[in-house]
Structure 1
């Protein structure tokens, strides 16, 4: 096959749909590919025909020019697809299988993978632990906002759906298993959410809404979502969450109006490094705001789940320290209150099978809760633009017209 249409980063504020090389079972050179990975053989991999692939807030950080992503990088790490070719070392995955792809690439062989820490695999990125498709500094594995995609270590990485027809009927839910549903669940779970918990989630974007859905699934008594965006707050209320408009000031007062006390048992940061201030400062970027406010909001002995992205290189940061990921965090507050923190990539494989079962057995409607919205691959630039402007939608790209 000659080509492969894909969403490509063209510089700050711009993406386009271009033809990139059709994937093979060997890593080729290209934008963002680590030189040590060029020529890497992938006999354990498969080629997927991409059925659905989603636009993620993490992609948006790159497109805004807030990372060191190179021009020409093929984007996309949320992939669901049908296997159309298998490598000679693939034993259990077969041509025709419909599968979810964890966004973090892992080998299944290293110490971290064997301990379930698949977000920090030691063997797939020559620069540092952890890797992902179509993402800056993640080893150069080509992105999956495309017609076809390569998945390495397929027997280990892929989650096969047990029934293709059943899966296609629920594809707008199942497509969230590659990233945001496990990531939101990871945030709520590592924050200690359990039956009867009160939970505050900072951010009503798709990951925040997935975290809110997950907190409900875990049995929380009250789930409160804070944001600046009225449309996104309305989406949170549509499935039973309480909401806080942080443009009106510190969330503690509004939380107290809801709960009777100005604190919660558990807190989740689903915002990350592009956080803005509260109240009168809401229009100004203040990257430590969310972390500091969550430490104030969380009861002593509680925990913070931090699936929101923080980076070590941000060319557009508000100050020199933030440009290298150094934020003014009140660690003394966290220490004094004995708070626990969990950061980093979600280890998707820890959760995705159980969340698949919850979807297939009608225990959760994650696609509805995040307002999954299907658009053709050709319209990806519009999806990126509208998402960047605050649309309360989770855009799902349909490369082959299989979702309509």
Structure 2
């Protein structure tokens, strides 16, 4: 049997590469596995040799100790891989297929899956609707920052690429299909971005940059990205975005300098619950800042897409309310302006094939937009540290040395 190694969470600020079991046709007990999922048969699944697997900002929330993630949890939900084994119940996915793995785990059978709401599948997580690989409170499915990973319900979940050689030539773009490109795109779609829109995206991390690229693909006239880190703002400018340095004060003032008005048509929150203040409070955590700011600067009748992560348990929250995910929102502002809000996991399968086609036919260069940077599995702990320090890069782990330099 093949060996398997993975990046594991070892407590606040600590990750390491450990030996973990090679995937089997049954979900075994382990860190974070819901007891009701232990022993679950996986004959509908496929085992993938991981080609690329990315470090996500959502992983960083766990690694910072800002969730209730257990030590020993194998991390990673952004996965692209080659099928090396299929379960007895798999009909259409074949050994040798190179596939993108949506970070949502979905059964394909429940009401929500049939309605394309694959981010809130009812059958894969006994704790709540929705699941993901290597993530806290998501049922305990083993993460994919590893050499090999099990993908359940393979016929439904996997997106095979039509030509393996073509896919490998664009693998640094295609690896973004598992999460951040559809997630950023979903934020823009739900914010109502279309031809001629003006858009403000809060956050110039990888999801914010992916949202910016998605807004351009949707035909936005002006895409404005706000952040505190100049390197990240420079990355946004590198592919045609306007930028706002929120450390300099209220984003509306800088938006007015760009547009001539203090409001945009559409707002996207790509920051989430670890948001910081604006202006003089920019170095202090203020988790409601982004949402309240977006309500202020989005025009009446507009919409907010909220792909940024918010949690129900945050041990590092600034107060007792924040530790439970309760924030001081100016909902009256949103109500008075008739704003719409969309939150939650992106239903990746709603978008991933279309975005794959955009990549394959050179309609978008998402790897360039997010500054995709290849590292080895053994370099993953340093990648986490660099990403946490604000590096304007999207780290792509290459466990088997499959990606050309």
TM-score interval, normalised by the smaller of the two chains: over 0.9
1:43 counterpart residue number: 43
> SS at the partner of 2:41?
coil
Distance in 2 of aligned mates of 1:273 and 1:93: 38
Partner of 2:26: 26
Structure 1 unaligned segments of length 5 or more: list them: none
2:202 aligns to what?
202
Q: How far is 1:3 from its partner?
A: 2.5
Q: Contact 1:2–1:21 (CA<8 Å) still a contact in 2?
A: no
d(CA) in 1 for partners of 2:396, 2:78: 9
* Distance in 1 of aligned mates of 2:150 and 2:36: 18
Provide the C-alpha distance between the structure 1 equivalents of 2:280 and 2:25, rounded to a whole number of angstroms.
53
1:67 corresponding residue in structure 2: 67
**Displacement of 1:107 after TM fit?**
0.3
Asked whether 1:112 is paired with 2:78, we answer no
Match of 2:261 in 1: 261
Match of residue 300 from structure 2: 300
In the other structure, the counterpart of 1:145 is 145
Distance between the aligned counterparts of 1:42 and 1:118, measured in 2?
Answer: 19
Counterpart secondary structure, 1:207 = helix
Whether 2:54 is the aligned partner of 1:54: answer yes
Q: Which residue of 2 aligns with 1:352?
A: 352
1:187 matched residue in structure 2:
187
Within a 5 Å distance, the mapping from 1:2-401 to structure 2 comes to 2-401=2-401
Cα distance in 1 for partners of 2:199, 2:52 equals 31
Which runs of structure 1 show a deviation greater than 3 angstroms over 4 or more consecutive aligned residues? Answer: none
Classify the secondary structure of the residue corresponding to 1:239. Answer: coil
- Taking structure 2 as the reference length, the TM-score comes to 0.99
Q: Does the 8 A contact of 1:276 with 1:287 survive in 2?
A: yes
SS of the aligned residue for 1:304 comes to strand
Supply the distance in 1 between the matched residues of 2:178 and 2:80 (Cα, whole angstroms): 7
Q: What CA RMSD, in Å, does the superposition of the two structures yield over aligned residues?
A: 0.4
Following TM superposition, by how much is the alpha carbon of 1:2 offset from its aligned partner in structure 2, in angstroms? 4.8
Q: Report deviation, 1:221.
A: 0.2
Name the SS of the counterpart of 1:48 in structure 2: strand
d(CA) in 2 for partners of 1:18 and 1:393? 25
Structure 2 runs not aligned, ≥5 long:
none
Distance of 1:341 and 1:100 partners within structure 2 = 29
Residue pair 1:372, 1:393 contacting (<8 A) in 2 also? yes
Deviation string for 1:35-87 (max 9, x for gaps)?
10000001100000000000000000000000000000000000000000000
Q: Deviations over 1:139-187 (max 9, x none)?
A: 0000000000000000000000000000000000000000000000000
Distance (whole Å) between structure 2 residues aligned to residue 262 and residue 308 of structure 1: 23
